[in-house]
Chains A and B, each alone.
Chain A
Amino acid sequence: MSEKFKVLYYVNQFFGQVGGEDKAGMAPLFCPEKVGPAAGFEGLLKGAGEVVGTVICGDNYFNENKERSLEFILNVIKEQAPQVVVAGPAFNAGRYGMACAELAKAVVDELKIPVVTGMYVENPGVDICKEKAIVIRTSDSAGGMRKALPTMAAIALKLGKGIELGSPEEEGYIPRGMRKTLFVEKRGSQRAVEMLIARLKGEPFQTEMPMPVFDQVNPAPAIKELGKATIALCTSGGIVPKGNPDGIQSASAQKWGKYDVSTREALSAPDFYTTHGGYDPVYANEIPDRVAPLDILKEFEKEGLIGKVYQWFYTTTGTGTAVSKAKEFGTQIGAELKAAEVDGVILTST
Chain B
Amino acid sequence: MEGLSENKLVWRNKWGVDILKLEIGRIYIKDIQLGNETTVKNGILTVDKEGLITKLKEDERIKDVKIDVARPGEKVRIIPVKDVIEPRVKVSGGVNGFPGVTAKQAQCGDGVTHVLYGAAVVTVGDIVGFQEGVIDMWGEGARWTPFSKTFNLTVDINVVEGLTPHVHEETVRVAGLRAAEFVGTAGKDIKPDEVLAYEMGSIFEESAKYPNLPKVIYAEMMITQGLLHDTYIYGVNAQNILPALLHVNEELDGAVVSGNCVAACDKITTYQHQNNSVINDLYAQHGKEINFLGCIMVPEHTTLGGKLRASEYTLKLAKMLGADAVVISEEGYGNPDSDLLMICKKCEKAGIKTVLITDECAGRDGMSQPLADTAQEAVAVVSGGNVSHVVTLPPADKVIGNPEAIAVLAGGWKGALLEDGTLMCELNAVIGSTSEIGFHNVTCRLY
- Residues of A with C-beta under 8 A to B438: 187-192
Asked whether A185 is an interface residue with its Cβ less than 8 Å from the other chain, the reply is yes
Pairs across A and B, CB under 8 Å, 19 listed: A131-B367, A168-B447, A175-B447, A179-B383, A181-B366, A181-B443, A182-B445, A188-B436, A188-B439, A189-B277, A200-B324, A208-B382, A210-B446, A211-B376, A251-B130, A254-B364, A319-B263, A320-B263, A323-B361
Contact A324 B325 (CB under 8 A): no
Binary A-proximity of B124-156 (CB < 8 A = 1, otherwise 0) = 000010110000000000010000000000000
Residues of A within 8 A of B285 (CB): 193, 197
Contact residues in A for B262 (Cβ distance below 8 Å): 278
In the bound complex, residues from chain B placing their C-beta under 8 Å from that of A319 are 263, 333-334, 410
Report if B204 contacts A (CB, 8 A).
no
A184 interfacial by beta-carbon distance below 8 Å: yes
Is A209 an interface position by the 8 A CB rule? Answer: yes
CB nearest to B407 among chain A residues: A247
Whether A179 and B413, one on each chain, are in contact in the complex, defined by CB atoms closer than 8 angstroms, is no
Measured between C-beta atoms, what is the minimum distance from B66 to chain A in Å?
25
Whether, in the assembled complex, B206 has its beta carbon less than 8 Å from a beta carbon of chain A, the answer is no
Contact A322 B388 (CB under 8 A): yes
- When distances are taken between beta carbons in the complex, the residues of chain A under 8 Å from B245 are none
B360 in contact with A209 (CB, 8 Å): yes
| Majority DSSP secondary structure for residues of A touching B | loop
- For B371, the chain A residues whose CB sits under 8 A away are 209, 211-212
CB distance from A154 to the nearest CB of B (A): 16
The total of Cβ contacts below 8 Å across the A-B interface reads 256
**In the docked arrangement, what's the CA distance between A191 and B360, Å?**
17
* Distance of A289 from chain B, by nearest CB (Å): 18
* Contacting residue for B361 out of A178, A187, A279, A321, CB 8 A: A321
A279's partner among B229, B333, B385 (CB-CB below 8 A) is: B229
- Of residues 247 through 295 on chain B, the ones whose CB sits less than 8 Å from some CB of chain A are 262-263, 277-278, 280-282, 284-285, 289-290
Assembled-state Cα–Cα distance A154/B436 (Å): 37
Contact of A179 with B370 in the complex, beta carbons under 8 Å: yes
Indicate whether A188 sits within 8 Å of B227 (C-beta atoms), given known contacts A254-B413, A319-B410.
Answer: no
> What 1/0 mask marks residues of chain B from 95 to 119 whose CB sits below 8 Å from any chain A CB?
0000000000000000000000000
Across the two chains, which residue of chain B brings its CB closest to A274?
Answer: B130
For residue A151, which residues in chain B have a CB less than 8 angstroms away from its CB? none
A72 within 8 A of B: no
Instruction: Assess whether A167 is in contact with B445, with CB atoms less than 8 Å apart.
Output: yes
B contact residues, range: 35 or more
Binding site for A on B (CB under 8 A): 128, 130-131, 143, 164-166, 214, 216, 225-229, 262-263, 277-278, 280-282, 284-285, 289-290, 324-325, 327, 329, 332-334, 353, 355, 357-358, 360-371, 374-376, 378-389, 408-415, 426-428, 435-447
**Chain B nearest CB: distance from A172 CB in Å?**
13
With contacts A179-B360, A181-B385 taken as known, whether A189 is within 8 angstroms of B281 at the C-beta atoms is: yes
Cβ of B166: which chain A residues have Cβ within 8 Å of it?
Answer: 282
The answer to whether the Cβ of A163 comes within 8 Å of any Cβ in the partner chain is no
Contact A212 B369 (CB under 8 A): yes
The complex places the Cα of A275 from the Cα of B131 at a distance, in Å, of 11
Q: Which residues from chain B contact A320 at a C-beta distance below 8 Å? A: 263, 333-334, 361, 387-388, 410-411, 426, 428
A24 to B374, CA, bound (A): 44
Does B445 contact A197, Cβ atoms closer than 8 Å? no
Chain B: minimal CB distance from A187 (Å): 5
Q: Once the chains bind, are A196 and B409 in contact (CB under 8 Å)?
A: no
Nearest chain A CB to B114 CB, angstrom units: 24
